[in-house]
Chain A
Amino acid sequence: MVDKPAISEPTSAAVRDAAPAAPPETCKPFSADRLAFQMGLDSTFRWSLGILLVVFIVAGSSVTGGGAGLMVLMIMLGGGWIWMSLGGARTAQMLAIITAHLEHDPIHAESLIAQSLRRWPVPRSLRLLLYHRLAVLRHRQQRLGECAAICDALLNYRLGAADPGAAWRFGQLRGNALAPTTGPHGAASSGGADAAGAIGAGASPSVATMGSLRSHLLLMLVECRLGLNDLRAAHAALIQLHQGPLGLLETLQRLGLQTRYEIAAGYDALALSRLAEKLELAAIMPAPACAALHAMLIGPAQRLDKPILASWLRRRAELLGATV
């Protein structure tokens, strides 16, 4: 006879251990007002520190022999400075981890973004970068409306060169031109950036400078607007993209998006204009983007009754791996 295993009441600790882990934290739906409030709070703290510094300078040069008041001011200033620096350093570390997780573990990345956004005070540029990462995440999750709202809101702030490596690290717009990697023959889709690309990619934020945060936000915005079939807004963002200088990678991305826009808006002739030049640039794109651009142009060629060109584009697209 086989003894039945004794079944005992589970201990409270066992119940606690067996309980399902708390669901990962998610970010609240984006609100431009909340962003403005957070930025205002951060900036108030920064200005307060600045004013304290001025007071310290004035007091330091007028009070003879220091004094208790001066010492208190100095301690407050030092404490505030250290608090802000430590918070900033922690957020900067978190930002690097978020960036690393965006591709492979978006749930964890979102949880980290939510935690980081709750911090206060956060340096202005870091808060903008956190929201930029949130936009990238939403873009990858195909939550295009929210991504577009974040991009729109961030573009209202002075971005400067907050994150010069953005286009390089986050260039992977869906079905679009992106960061060329390495290749055997120097250029073309396989890249010419060669192993240099591999060495540069994913390194520190200051690495691989191509483009700016602003351009990357605009590129994401155009793609989201196109995905939402909001051609008017896509056009407005494209115009902004044409107003500033762009790096090569961003130019390639803009080319893909602009062609998509032109086709969606029915400007077939425009999509096929300067075709040789466009396809030369396409040759620098990664293979899927290059193939997609060829495939995209088949429709306009057919509609404009250019069967030879359509057939040529189709053969190239197929050879490059596009499903036509």
Chain B
Amino acid sequence: MSLLSPPKPVDFTPPSPRQVQEHLERNPAIGHSRAATWAPLVALVAAVIIAMTAPPGPAAMLPWLIILGLLFYSAARVRRARDLEARAARIQELALLRRHAMSLRLAWKLLPHVGRNPELHMRTVAIMALNMDLVGAAESSLVAYQYLLERLPKGHPGIVQIQVQAALAQLASDHLLDADATLRRLRDLDNAKQSNVATATYHLALLAQQVCTHHDADALPLAQGLVQKLQPLGVDAGYGYALMALAHHRVGQRQAEDGGEIRNHAPATAAWWSKATLLLPVDALTGRYRELEVLTADATLAGAVQRATPPQ
């Protein structure tokens, strides 16, 4: 199965926003237990005191038993921490490989076990949020994004990316006003000197906002420098090119319906659609943005469709 194509549907129902809320409330990040941190030290001190005061004989063995117990306890703690890290890494890898349903399922199961490790807890929630967004549960993902934004410290490097992704989820779940407010808060990214994944995602979100709200004519000026702006997204930039093709297509259609032939948008539509399909298969594009199906249905664009897989 192609990595870039949506995986085959599995027996999976994404959680509702309420379920997500309850799951997060039931399994909060509680941090390290103070007792667990100090217990080994207390036991060690006790062992030393016993060693110094105990008379020779069976009692002299007690400190060594305590130390042995401590060694086993520490080893078990380290093993458990490594196991949790390995599970989190596996979940992240599955998300990278676009196995979002599987990744979400495992992240959901992992969450109750990572409360003692706040960093791992937040990472697990972040991966859950992304997965929910990509399995079509944008509403539920918003609950998780909100949870993260409320808890991450100010100035955390991950906040901007989470805000941009939350904006995309808001657009996908028709929270258009919220999305607009979120994107307004991120306006500084317009002037970012260096283009990175966060700025590229922001530009994609701006484009998606115009297309989702049917302000297609307003999307057209965003075409300027779009390729460079979206390049940090790699092949995912194809989603942006496809949205631009859709904007041109709709504007062209609207002008044709109005009867006023101002500009022929067909070449621009074909050019952007060609770029999009060169990077991503058509089913991946329509799987994410159903609106793009009008482009696949348009016979005049059939010639513009490129191969996203290498020709033999």
**Is chain B a partner of chain A in the same complex?**
yes
The number of residue pairs between A and B whose CB atoms lie closer than 8 Å in the complex comes to 202
Partner of B239, one of A185, A189, A290, A313: A185
Contacts of A209 in B (CB 8 A): 82, 85-86, 88-89
Interchain CB contact under 8 A, A192 and B122: no
* Alpha-carbon gap, A313 to B164, bound state (A): 31
- Residue of B119, B131, B306, B307 with most partner-chain A CB within 10 A: B119
Interchain CB contact under 8 A, B131 and A186: yes
B260 within 8 A of A: no
Contacts of B105 in A (CB 8 A): none
* Alpha-carbon gap, A284 to B237, bound state (A): 13
A-side interface residues, number (CB < 8 Å): 64
Interchain CB contact under 8 A, A184 and B234: no
Distance to closest chain A CB from B115 (angstroms): 16
Interchain CB contact under 8 A, A66 and B231: no
B123 within 8 A of A: yes
Contacts of B55 in A (CB 8 A): 65
A319 within 8 A of B: yes
* Majority SS at the chain B contact face: helix
Q: Mark A300-314, 1 if CB is under 8 A from B, else 0.
A: 000000001100110
Q: Would you list which residues of chain A between 33 and 64 have a CB under 8 Å from chain B?
A: 57, 60-64
B148 within 8 A of A: yes
Distance to closest chain A CB from B132 (angstroms): 11
Interchain CB contact under 8 A, A191 and B96: yes
Contacts of A283 in B (CB 8 A): 3-4, 234-235
Interchain CB contact under 8 A, B233 and A199: no
Contacts of B306 in A (CB 8 A): 315
Contacts of B288 in A (CB 8 A): 185
Interchain CB contact under 8 A, A182 and B4: no
- Residue of B51, B81, B96, B148 with most partner-chain A CB within 10 A: B96
Interface 9-mer from B9-17, B155-163, B295-303: B155-163
Partner of B89, one of A186, A201, A210, A313: A210
A207 within 8 A of B: yes
With A192-B98, A195-B130, A283-B4 known to touch, is A60 a contact of B60 (CB < 8 Å)? yes
A256 within 8 A of B: no
- Residue of A161, A181, A198 with most partner-chain B CB within 10 A: A198
Contacts of B124 in A (CB 8 A): 196
Distance to closest chain A CB from B94 (angstroms): 9
Q: Would you list which residues of chain A between 184 and 217 have a CB under 8 Å from chain B?
A: 184-204, 206-210
A123 within 8 A of B: no
With A209-B85, A209-B86, A309-B310 known to touch, is A192 a contact of B233 (CB < 8 Å)? no
* Alpha-carbon gap, A62 to B89, bound state (A): 51
B102 within 8 A of A: no
Interface 9-mer from B33-41, B184-192, B195-203, B247-255: B195-203
Partner of A189, one of B85, B127, B233, B307: B233
Q: Would you list which residues of chain B between 201 and 225 have a CB under 8 Å from chain A?
A: 201, 204-205
With A57-B64, A287-B231 known to touch, is A184 a contact of B205 (CB < 8 Å)? yes
Contacts of B231 in A (CB 8 A): 287, 291, 320-321
* Alpha-carbon gap, A247 to B2, bound state (A): 20
Interchain CB contact under 8 A, B3 and A190: no
Partner of A192, one of B81, B96, B232: B96
Interchain CB contact under 8 A, A319 and B278: yes
B97 within 8 A of A: yes
Specify the chain B residue showing the minimal Cβ separation from A194: B130
Contacts of A320 in B (CB 8 A): 231, 234-235, 237, 279
Q: With A161-B82, A164-B82, A182-B198 given, can you name 5 additional A-B contacts, CB distance below 8 Å?
A: A184-B239, A194-B127, A195-B126, A208-B89, A283-B4
| Shortest 9 CB-CB contacts between residues of A and residues of B | A189-B234, A198-B158, A287-B234, A190-B233, A194-B130, A209-B85, A192-B96, A196-B126, A321-B231
